[in-house]
Amino acid sequence: MRTLACVAVLLLVSAALANTQMFAERHRHGEVYRRAVEAENAHHQLLGFTPNTTRNWMTMPIDHQNPSLGTFQDKFYLDTQYWNGTGPCMMYLNGEGPLGSSVGGYMADIAKALGACTLTIEHRWYGESLPAPLTNKALLTSTLTIDQAMQDVMALILHFQTNVINRPPTAWMLVGGSYSGGMTVWLNEKYPGFFKASWAASGVVRATFAYDEYDGHVASRVSGKCRDALVRVMQIAEKKWDKGGADLARIQAMFNVPSYNTKTDFMC
Per the CB < 8 A criterion, the answer to whether 173 and 93 are in contact is: no
| Cβ-Cβ contacts under 8 Å for 235 (sequence gap 6 or more) | none
Q: What is the pLDDT along the chain (268 residues), one digit of tens a residue?
A: 344 333 333 333 344 345 777 676 666 767 777 888 888 888 888 888 999 999 999 999 999 999 999 999 999 999 999 998 888 999 999 988 899 999 988 889 999 999 999 999 999 999 999 999 998 999 999 999 999 999 999 999 999 888 887 777 778 999 998 889 999 999 999 999 999 999 988 888 776 766 667 777 777 888 888 888 888 988 998 999 999 899 889 888 888 787 778 888 787 6
Nearest to 87, CA basis, from 114, 110, 120: 114
Distance CA 31, CA 66 (A): 44
- What is this structure's pTM? 0.76
Distances (CA, A) of 241 to 26, 159, 227, 252: 17, 45, 21, 9
